[in-house]
A and B are shown apart, each in its own frame.
Chain A
Amino acid sequence: MIARLVLNGRAREVEVRPNQTLLEMLRDTLGVFDVKEGCDEGVCGVCTVLLDGRPASSCLVLAAALRGRAVTTLRGIERDGGLHPLQEAFVRHGAVQCGFCTPGMLLTVLALLEHEPRPDRPAIRAALEGNLCRCTGYAKIVDAVEAYVRADGGRDG
């Protein structure tokens, strides 16, 4: 059957199986590897995409059920082929170690900033509760987000 979506700004129609998740479609059918596969039950956050601007676990969405919704992966936030300033903040603060959780972290933070441009540290931690990182201990990730917000990375600065 046909899955309809707008992937990183481009309308797509993709032939999928009824039992194929959005995650499987992105990675196996379309080769979008910036979305990672982790737990397959919506707990770890590495498969995070933005669905109409809100974070969602792509492992828990059936591709056939997309109904033309906008799906954003990390590729969709790159600017002119370069890193997004939030990505640069992550690099600068040592918030990336193995990198497996990073795409989900970045997308979740950007979705938070859409609703709350000036989050404090507890709000950042709360928003990232559902994104697991086994390397950094989280402190550097929160540091990076704080620095990005301070540097007028928040939207109402």
Chain B
Amino acid sequence: MHPFEYVAAETLEEVLGLLREHGDEAKVLAGGQSLVPMLNYRLARPGVVVDINGLPLGDISVDDGRLRLGALVRYHQLEESDVLARRCPVLGEAAGLIGNVRVRTLGTVGGSLAHADPAAELPAVMTALDAQIAVASASGRRTIAAREFFTGPLSTALAPDEIVTGVETPALPAYGWAVEEMSRRAGDFAVAAVVALVSVDRRGRVDDARVAFGGVADRPVHARAAEDALRGREPTTDSIARAAQAAREALEPPSDAFVSGAYRRLVAGVLCRRALARAVARALGRA
């Protein structure tokens, strides 16, 4: 690791002041599960590391159907939280797929969003949920829609002096949910991942569907075509397959050293069909 100055910040104001002062030279340390590997491999060489783990940003709360997660909520909290299991279970299912058990001990919601790996689970979940990401700088606070927050690989709408302080999203407790992903080895980032949320009306027709992919583009992809193909329809095997096909046809995934774009698209379509089928089954169980 290159040398850097380490500051354990005590307050948000202190963090924001340091980011204002140091700009691009500063890196924010939350769970460290992406930052510290980059430091170890000298891919990141910040002058200052600002440790925010002392800040009170670790709470999960739900009121009035709105779910709030502090930036420092850890993945294992998403897996183990009773209130999330009741009100927004898609988060626990997604968190259980992240990295390995050690990553889930320390990794944070805010860190995953700010790091913005295109194949990561939580950016796709927040895209599906249509979450609002709360950010702050020394100049003030604002919220950014998750669907506009991710701007490219490891790139976001955050200014250099801004940090993520939390996420707010509708909890959607009446929706069925499913997260499907395929990776080459256990713990690897996904070749493709999909998050599906479905609600049904009293006649058993799809009232609303939310679908988002990870791993198939330079950022999470909101799959409007699949949602439109399902809304108002009876959720049969056929209509689900057609929705997954519509989603797949809208994708143009990249190739990499391991996986061709064509294969990635095929996998994404299959995973989408499976996720929709599971989400529908759960929605019918909850309706």
Contacts and interface: CB of A to CB of B under 8 A. Distances in A.
A60 B187 contact: no
Interface in A34-84: 40-43, 45, 48, 51, 54-57, 59-62, 64-65, 67
Interface stretch (B47-55, B200-208, B212-220): B47-55
B4 A18 contact: yes
B37 A42 contact: yes
B3 A45 contact: no
Given A41-B40, A51-B105, 9 more contacts: A18-B49, A40-B37, A41-B37, A41-B41, A42-B103, A51-B106, A55-B101, A130-B100, A130-B186
A87 interface: no
B227 to A, nearest CB: 31
Contact of A17 (B3, B36, B37): B3
B70 to A, nearest CB: 17
A41 B39 CA distance: 10
17 contacts: A18-B6, A18-B49, A21-B1, A41-B37, A42-B99, A42-B100, A42-B103, A45-B102, A60-B33, A60-B102, A67-B54, A108-B101, A127-B101, A129-B101, A130-B99, A130-B100, A130-B103
A41 B6 CA distance: 20
A60 B3 contact: no
Contacts of B32: 60-62, 65
Given A43-B187, A67-B8, A59 B51 contact: no
Contacts of A21: 1, 36, 40
Nearest to A1: B6
A42 B1 CA distance: 15
Contact of B102 (A17, A40, A57, A112): A57
A111 to B, nearest CB: 8
A153 to B, nearest CB: 19
Nearest to B48: A18
Nearest to B188: A43
A67 B53 contact: yes
List the 8 closest pairs (A to B, CB-CB), nearest first.
Answer: A130-B100, A18-B6, A41-B37, A129-B186, A19-B1, A54-B105, A60-B36, A40-B40
B76 interface: yes
B2 interface: yes
Given A18-B49, A60-B33, A48 B102 contact: yes
Given A18-B5, A67-B53, A129-B186, A40 B41 contact: yes
Interface in A89-143: 108, 111-112, 127, 129-131
Among B53, B99, B100, find the residue whose CB has the most chain A CB atoms closer than 10 A: B100
B62 interface: no
A61 B39 CA distance: 11
B40 A59 contact: yes
B29 interface: yes
A65 B29 contact: yes
B8 A42 contact: no
A130 B6 contact: no
Interface in B1-58: 1-6, 8, 29, 32-33, 36-37, 39-41, 49, 51, 53-54
Contacts of A67: 8, 53-54
A38 to B, nearest CB: 12
Given A18-B49, A42-B33, A67-B54, A56 B106 contact: yes
B36 A59 contact: yes
Contacts of A56: 102, 105-106
Nearest to B36: A60
Contact of B3 (A18, A62, A112): A18
A130 B41 contact: no
Nearest to B37: A41
Contacts of A54: 76, 101, 105
A15 to B, nearest CB: 14
Contacts of B33: 42, 57, 60
Given A41-B41, A65-B53, A129-B186, A60 B106 contact: yes
Contacts of B40: 21, 40-41, 59-60
